[in-house]
Amino acid sequence: MNRIINYLRDAIGGVLFYFGQTKLRTSLTLLGITVGVSSIIAIMTVLATFEKSYSGLVSEMKTNVFYITKDNPIQISFGSGDRNARNKPNITWSEYEQLKRSLTLTKHISATVAEEPSDRTISVGKNELKNRLTSFWGGDGDILSLNKYEIIGGRNISQQDIDNRTRVAMIGYDIKEELFPHSDPVGQTIKIDNLPFEIIGLLAPKGELLGQSMDAMIGIPISTFLQSFGGRHWRRADIMLLLESESMDTIDAATDEAVGVFRAIRKIPPGEENNFYIATNEQLMGTFEEFTGYLTIFIGLVAGISLLVAGIGIANIMLVSLTERIKEIGVRKALGARKIDIFLQFLIEAMLISIIGGIIGIILGLSFGNVIAFFLGQDPVIPFNWVFYSIQICASMGIIFGLYPAIKASNLNPIDSMRYE
Amino acid sequence: MPKSKKEIISMDSISKIYHLGNNVVKALDDVSISIYENDFISIMGPSGSGKSTLMNMIGCLDVPTKGVYKFNNELISEMNDSQLANIRNEKIGFVFQTFNLLPKLTSLKNVEVPLIYSSLGKTKRLQRSEEALSIVGLSDRMDHKPSELSGGQRQRVAIARALVNKPSIILADEPTGNLDSKSGIEILNFFDELHKAGNTLIIVTHEESIARRAKRRVELFDGKIVVDE
Ligand SMILES: Nc1ncnc2c1ncn2[C@@H]1O[C@H](COP(=O)(O)OP(=O)(O)OP(=O)(O)O)[C@@H](O)[C@H]1O
Ligand SMILES: [Mg+2]
């Protein structure tokens, strides 16, 4: 035990001294370790903040909801992205109406089309909305309940609004706060890209999700949206369908039915693939998880490479340190150091270098990751397990890359090394 | 030599041969010597006669090309690394001809090195190192590095380091070579005391006055022992 304490004391002194002597080489090695460790820690910090709000996201979503869209709305997976997406037909208003008539296992079906985010100019009188909208959507009345929005003033979009393509709007709480700070917005007029809309409903504030306000939004009847903002060929514009089964238990049957009916509408012959995308909320979340999985692998690779380079740096430092210290090793051996003593001294020094680099990396990574998290509007977190793994990785790196120099040092013969100049 | 004494070192036909190109250097040539407990031996001989080589051999630092070396009746050639390290650490105190101090460390730290490889606690180690430095009269130079010391002071640090582990055998390769006669005599008086206390001393020297203090005199010439009396 005493010996180990002695080595540690010796090693710390030696390492600090050696740092002073070879500032450039040491800082380069430290840089490598720091980059490796801090990228791991930074990404893990960001992912940890995501995971925190991801559980929030899941609880925001109903589990008996599924979607029919042209393509997977979460286009973040690498490689597996659908190449046929462009050739797929849009999901159109008339397909929606046919589907609506034929489904039996679906409680609600609604259509929506959205610009997220949206750069439309929103104004009331001379006042213009400063921040861009998180979402500008067209939908029918069910969209709000499917997304768990609550109306606190006025009324919902009605079937009449849809049929008559009225210019009415539902607004999120951020819009009221900014443009109608002292008055009731319901009944007033708001301009969207200079088209006047009557505000018919105000929604309760929902707060932020993944760093974005869910209240900076405006919704209008989907028919109005398509006609006024959908361009000339709005009848062929692509919409997204949200469907709700009776319960979680019937969701599989409901999706199966929807697939069958939609294939029939599109007259897809048996055996051919669906030319649309259908997924439940849970499957969508699966895509998200797949994405974070890819990200982790990618970062692992980057971190792995920089750690490998850093490790070679450590081995190099230790080998140079070895040739500079052959005489010292000889003297120590002549005075009673065993092979194992010299071996441990070198190994502990290598570990110290990498652990020091690791600690710097952890501090940088935590700061960097939390700065990113801050800008994404997330609460700060410390991924303790990854801090712990990083220390372990660094220590093992010190061992692996310090091993060869340490063995070499311990095998020196005392008399020859004392004579070495 | 009273034969009743315990033989601690026994060398039988030891040779150390270096091949440098076509040249063959016999640093030691068929040397046989027995050293007993509490011997006080001076080794003399011209430069290059093999004195340091013999000392390194006795100190278990060098390996003979030929011959048999027994330490305390055990074959050195059969010992493993940690047994040899143990002998160097505990049994033998070595004052090297070229001092071999560690340049980065202070006198005190230099003297402490052998204790690091024993199992002594930190306070004990400091105390012992300070003691050893005060014996050689360097209490006021404990925090100096070798580069900040005179040649004689360095030599005395080397002596303190050899003594710090209280070894029973002291090997000193010209230990007073760099000292003025006064401090040289102090060191030699201290060696006398060690001898009286039962230690075994082997000292390489060029000075007749030192050789006369020793109880036994060995002379080397061209790697061979020519006098042993
Ligand atoms: N590593 C080596 N390689 C080749 N020759 C060596 C080596 N070490 C010693 N020698 C040779 O061995 C011989 C004995 O050297 P040694 O150092 O034992 O002499 P010495 O008696 O101590 O001399 P001095 O009084 O000058 O210290 C010398 O001729 C030297 O050149
Ligand atoms: Mg010599």
DSSP letters, A152-166, are EEE----HHHHHHT-
Which residue lies with its CA nearest to atom 17 of ligand 1? B52
| CA A396 and chain centroid, separation | 29
pLDDT of the residue at B16: 95
Q: Which residues of A63-92 are buried (b: 16+ CB within 10 A; e: fewer)?
A: ebbbbbbbbbeeeeeeeeeeeeeeebeebb
Q: How many CB atoms lie within 10 A of CB A57?
A: 15
Q: Are A219 and A197 in contact (CB under 8 A)?
A: no
pLDDT of the residue at B4: 65
Who among B88, B114, B119 is closest to A2 (CB)? B119
pLDDT of the residue at B166: 92
Residue A139, strand partner residues = A112, A221
Residue A32 lies in a domain: yes
Residue A121 sits in the same domain as residue A251: yes
Q: Is B189 exposed, middle or buried (0-12, 13-18, 19+ CB in 10 A)?
A: exposed
Residue A211 sits in the same domain as residue A96: yes
Among the atoms of ligand 1, which is closest to the Cα of residue B53? 18
Q: Poorest-confidence range of A55-69, B35-49, B122-136?
A: A55-69
Structural domain ending residue among the three candidates A244, A275, A306: A275
Residue A254 sits in the same domain as residue A297: no
Integer Cα distance of B4 and A419 in angstroms:
39
Residue B212 lies in a domain: yes
Ligand 1 proximity of B18 Cβ (cutoff 6 Å): yes
Residue A318 sits in the same domain as residue A269: no
Residue B172 lies in a domain: yes
Chain B residues within 8 A of A341 when measuring between CB atoms: 85, 117
Residue A255 sits in the same domain as residue A319: no
Query: Is the interface score ipTM higher than 0.90?
Result: yes
Inter-chain contact B120–A415, Cβ cutoff 8 Å?
no
Integer Cα distance of A200 and A214 in angstroms:
19
pLDDT of the residue at A382: 80
Residue B170 lies in domain: 38-63+89-228
Residue A77 lies in a domain: no
Integer Cα distance of A414 and B119 in angstroms:
21
Residue B3 lies in a domain: no
Residue A324 sits in the same domain as residue A229: no
Q: Are A175 and A206 in contact (CB under 8 A)?
A: no
Q: How many CB atoms lie within 10 A of CB B109?
A: 18
Q: What is the mean pLDDT of residues B192-196?
A: 91
Residue A371 sits in the same domain as residue A260: no
Inter-chain contact B120–A2, Cβ cutoff 8 Å?
yes
Residue A305 sits in the same domain as residue A252: no
- The DSSP call for residue A183 is S
pLDDT of the residue at A246: 84
Inter-chain contact A338–B82, Cβ cutoff 8 Å?
yes
pLDDT of the residue at A61: 63
Q: What is the CATH number of the domain that holds B202?
A: 3.40.50.300
A264-276 tens-digit pLDDT = 999 998 888 888 8
pLDDT of the residue at A54: 62
The answer to whether B18 contacts chain A (CB < 8 Å) is no
Residue B160 lies in a domain: yes
Inter-chain contact A418–B100, Cβ cutoff 8 Å?
yes
Number of C-alpha atoms within 13 angstroms, CB side, residue A228? 23
Integer Cα distance of A186 and A220 in angstroms:
14
Structural domain ending residue among the three candidates A210, A240, A275: A275
pLDDT of the residue at B225: 93
Q: Are B143 and B108 in contact (CB under 8 A)?
A: yes
Choose from A3, A22, A335 for mutation: most chain B CBs within 10 A: A335
Inter-chain contact A336–B81, Cβ cutoff 8 Å?
no
Pocket test for ligand 1, best of B18, B23, B94, B173 (most atoms within 8 A of CB): B18
Structural domains counted in chain A: 2
Torsion, Cα of A289, A290, A291, A297 (10° steps): 110
If you average pLDDT over every residue of chain A, what do you get? Answer: 82
Closest CA of chain A from B193, distance in Å: 23
| Nearest chain A residue to B116, by CA | A6
Residue A69 lies in a domain: no
Q: Which helix (H) or strand (E) holds A170?
A: strand A168-171
pLDDT of the residue at A21: 65
Residue B69 lies in a domain: no
Structural domains counted in chain B: 1
Q: Which residues of B196-224 are buried (b: 16+ CB within 10 A; e: fewer)?
A: eeebbbbbbbebeebbebbebebbbeebe
| Gyration radius (Cα) of chain A, Å | 32
| Percent of chain B residues topping a pLDDT of 70 | 98
Ligand 1 proximity of B113 Cβ (cutoff 6 Å): no
A160-178 tens-digit pLDDT = 998 899 999 999 999 999 9
| Nearest chain A residue to B90, by CA | A336
Residue A104 sits in the same domain as residue A214: yes
3-state secondary structure chain B: CCCCCCEEEEEEEEEEEEEECCEEEEEEEEEEEEEECCCEEEEECCCCCCHHHHHHHHCCCCCCCEEEEEECCEEHHHCCHHHHHHHHHHHEEEECCCCCCCCCCCHHHHHHHHHHCCCCCHHHHHHHHHHHHHHCCCHHHCCCCHHHCCHHHHHHHHHHHHHCCCCCEEEEECCCCCCCHHHHHHHHHHHHHHHHCCCEEEEECCCHHHHHHCCEEEEEECCEEEEEC
Nearest to B44 by CA among B211, B213, B222, B224: B211
Choose from B61, B119, B165 for mutation: most chain A CBs within 10 A: B61
Ligand 1 proximity of B46 Cβ (cutoff 6 Å): no
Integer Cα distance of A283 and A363 in angstroms:
36
Structural domain ending residue among the three candidates A275, A307, A329: A275
Q: What is the mean pLDDT of residues B15-26?
A: 91
Whether the pLDDT of residue A325 is over 50: the answer is yes
Highest mean pLDDT among A217-226, A355-364, B117-126: A217-226
| Nearest chain B residue to A336, by CA | B89
Residue A212 sits in the same domain as residue A314: no
Residue B208 lies in a domain: yes
Q: Are B201 and B170 in contact (CB under 8 A)?
A: yes
Residue A24 sits in the same domain as residue A166: no
Whether the pLDDT of residue B172 is over 90: the answer is yes
The answer to whether B88 contacts chain A (CB < 8 Å) is yes
Residue A15 lies in a domain: yes
| Nearest chain B residue to A340, by CA | B82
A69-106 tens-digit pLDDT = 887 665 543 444 445 555 688 888 889 889 888 888 88
Structure tokens belonging to residue A264: 């029939």
Structure tokens belonging to residue A164: 């008559």
Chain B residues within 8 A of A332 when measuring between CB atoms: 102, 113, 117
Residue B120 lies in a domain: yes
Whether the pLDDT of residue B191 is over 50: the answer is yes
Residue A33 lies in a domain: yes
> A–B: how many Cβ contacts below 8 A?
68
Higher pLDDT, B34 or A26: B34
What lies within 8 Å, CB to CB, of B79 at 6+ separation is B87
Chain B residues within 8 A of A330 when measuring between CB atoms: 100
What lies within 8 Å, CB to CB, of A213 at 6+ separation is A134, A172, A174, A207
3-class state of residue A151 by DSSP:
strand
Q: What is the mean pLDDT of residues B129-150?
A: 92
Integer Cα distance of A376 and A137 in angstroms:
23
Which residue lies with its CA nearest to atom 18 of ligand 1? B50
pLDDT of the residue at A80: 45
| Nearest chain B residue to A414, by CA | B61
| CA A287 and chain centroid, separation | 12
Q: Which ligand is nearest to the CA of B19?
A: 1
Residue B178 lies in a domain: yes
Nearest to A230 by CA among A117, A92, A73, A71: A92
B78-102 tens-digit pLDDT = 999 999 999 999 999 999 988 899 9
Residue A175 lies in domain: 89-275
Residue A39 lies in a domain: yes
Q: At what angle do helices A384-410 and A281-324 cross, to 10 degrees?
A: 30
Chain A residues within 8 A of B102 when measuring between CB atoms: 328, 331-332
Give the strand order in the sheet containing B216-221.
Answer: B92-95, B169-173, B200-204, B40-44, B216-221, B224-228
Nearest to A276 by CA among A126, A147, A416, A89: A89
Q: Place A354 in a pLDDT band, splitting at 50, 70 and 90.
A: confident
Centre of ligand 1 to C-alpha B18, Å, is 10
A113-142 tens-digit pLDDT = 888 888 899 999 888 888 888 889 998 877
Inter-chain contact A338–B116, Cβ cutoff 8 Å?
no
Whether the pLDDT of residue A184 is over 60: the answer is yes
Choose from B61, B82, B111, B116 for mutation: most chain A CBs within 10 A: B116
pLDDT of the residue at A52: 66
Q: How many CB atoms lie within 10 A of CB A207?
A: 10
Q: How many CB atoms lie within 10 A of CB A222?
A: 27
Is the pTM higher than 0.80? no
Residue A304 sits in the same domain as residue A380: yes
Rounded to a whole number, what is the largest CA-CA distance in chain A? 101
Residue A324 lies in a domain: yes
- The DSSP call for residue A73 is S
Q: Is A377 exposed, middle or buried (0-12, 13-18, 19+ CB in 10 A)?
A: middle
Residue A61 lies in a domain: no
Integer Cα distance of A318 and A305 in angstroms:
20
Ligand 1 proximity of B17 Cβ (cutoff 6 Å): no
